[in-house]
């Protein structure tokens, strides 16, 4: 085993233990929660190591980087992985993301939804999507649909051929207690579920708050630095 692979194996095992413990504390099954390992800023070789260590889902947040990295993966590795796009999307890039993304978690407006639907249809496939909800209601500019507009966006997305509405996603507000934020997300998720019974996913929880997310009902975690190590500051 290379040093890097051993390092990734050790951190992945630590995160797995945290996830397992949090599931037990919440009275949930470990199989209710999918770990998406966020590999942004790290090379394709790391993705190959992670796949070899049993990782099934990876996340990326920049179109150019994700596109290049996914194309660099050996075909057999790529075929075994589900690639989640989790970053902000411009509507003119949306169709291109469907070249490599199996899931787009960061869908937050109708224009982007239409671009994704067009790309998926051109490729004759169906794209899984979750709606990114802005839990700060416009205060931070990190993207996301405002809570008051979730229902209408969900309706719009559900009506588009090429997209399958799988659920909701959010990032906890920076520097604030994640517990009320994730509880709010859980409520918004239940409202979406009432209208769209297939939208069972709730993507929440990162390196620092995955326990709170699991307690609030998260089905998908997006964990980067706790597994890959620290990365250069973004933007």
Q: Tell me if 115 sits within 8 A of 104, measured CB to CB.
A: no
Least distance between ligand PLP and beta carbon 165 (Å): 19
Count residues binding ligand PLP (CB under 6 A).
13
**150 binds ligand PLP, rule: CB under 6 A:** no
Stretch that binds ligand PLP, among 26-34, 95-103, 193-201, 218-226 (CB under 6 A): 218-226
SS3 96: helix
**47 binds ligand PLP, rule: CB under 6 A:** no
SS3 144: coil
Least distance between ligand PLP and beta carbon 203 (Å): 8
In degrees and rounded to multiples of 5, residue 6 shows phi and psi of -65, -40
Q: Which of 151, 158, 179, 206 binds ligand PLP (CB under 6 A)?
A: 206
Task: Pick between residue 34 and residue 225 the one whose CB is nearest to ligand PLP.
Answer: 225
Alpha carbons 171 and 190: distance in angstroms, whole number: 17
**168 binds ligand PLP, rule: CB under 6 A:** no
Identify the sign of the CA torsion 75, 79, 82, 88. positive
Spatial CA neighbour of 224 closest among 54, 72, 12: 12
Q: Give the number of other CB atoms < 10 A from CB of residue 32.
A: 13
**207 binds ligand PLP, rule: CB under 6 A:** yes
> Bridge partners of 36?
57, 222
**38 binds ligand PLP, rule: CB under 6 A:** yes
The residues in 49-68 that bind ligand PLP, with binding defined as CB under 6 A, are 61
Binding site for ligand PLP (CB under 6 A): 38, 40, 61, 86, 171, 206-208, 222-226
């Amino acid at each position: 085993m290379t040093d890097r692979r051993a390092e990734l194996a050790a951190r992945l095992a630590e995160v797995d233990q945290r996830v397992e413990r949090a599931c037990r504390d919440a009275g949930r099954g470990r199989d209710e929660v999918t770990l998406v390992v966020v590999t942004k800023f790290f090379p394709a070789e790391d993705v190959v190591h992670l796949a070899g260590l049993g990782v099934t889902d990876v996340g990326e947040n920049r179109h150019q980087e994700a596109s290049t990295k996914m194309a660099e993966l050996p075909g057999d590795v790529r075929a075994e992985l589900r690639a989640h796009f989790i970053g902000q999307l411009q509507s003119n890039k949306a169709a291109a993301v469907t070249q490599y993304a199996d899931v787009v978690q960061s869908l937050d407006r109708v224009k982007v939804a239409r671009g994704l639907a067009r790309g998926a249809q051109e490729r004759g496939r169906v794209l899984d999507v979750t709606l990114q909800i802005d839990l700060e209601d416009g205060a931070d500019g990190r993207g996301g649909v405002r809570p008051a507009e979730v229902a209408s966006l969900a309706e719009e997305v559900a009506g588009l051929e090429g997209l399958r509405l799988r659920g909701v996603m959010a990032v906890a507000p920076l520097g604030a207690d994640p517990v009320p934020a994730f509880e709010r997300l859980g409520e918004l998720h239940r409202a979406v579920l009432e209208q769209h019974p297939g939208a069972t996913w709730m993507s929440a929880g990162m390196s620092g708050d995955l326990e709170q997310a699991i307690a609030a009902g998260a089905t998908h975690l997006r964990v980067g630095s706790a597994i890959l190590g620290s990365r250069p500051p973004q933007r």
